[in-house]
Amino acid sequence: MRPTESPATPPPWMTTIEVKLYGHLTEHVSSEADLLASYRELAEAPDTPAAARYLIRMVVEDEERHHRLFHEMTAAVGNGFGWTHDSEAVPELVYGQPPRSLEEVTARFLAAEQADRKQLRALRKELRPFRDTSLWDLLVELMEYDTAKHIRVFTFLRDHVARHR
């Protein structure tokens, strides 16, 4: 079995809800496989303009990461029921007192991402004159989305640490 594949049939001891979750996770990856292949094909086609190729490759990277995450969630379902032992599964949230250093680092990283968000907003304003002549505005906007995602991650960690202190 390759790292991005999951066993086809869940074990009989899983509940209906667990089987449905497993099916949803595996079906998502399977249903998008052809679409991802089409994205790659368009990104590599010689007649695809360079800017489109550049942007489509970014989408391919995101989709590949999404597929990996779905595989890791599927593996976690299997690990949680003793069905599989995949070291690449999404880890369980640990309950108990986290190290103090995690709380401090998380606060520092959260502040850095919030500062980055402000800088990116200011940069987008500066890039307004280039909206119709470059990809810069779009790329900075996408970085803003990533920064929002990073803020969400560090907020989650901060809150999780606070609940288990």
Q: Is the pLDDT of residue 23 over 60?
A: yes
Q: How far apart are CA 29 and CA 40, in angstroms?
A: 16
Domain ranges, ordered by start, for the chain: 16-80, 100-163
Q: How far apart are CA 60 and CA 67, in angstroms?
A: 10
- The pLDDT tens digits of the residues spanning 49-108 come to 999 999 999 999 999 999 999 888 888 887 765 566 778 888 888 777 888 899 999 999
pTM for the structure as a whole: 0.82
**Which one is predicted more confidently, 11 or 110?**
110
Helices (H), 88-135: 100-126
Q: How far apart are CA 79 and CA 97, in angstroms?
A: 24
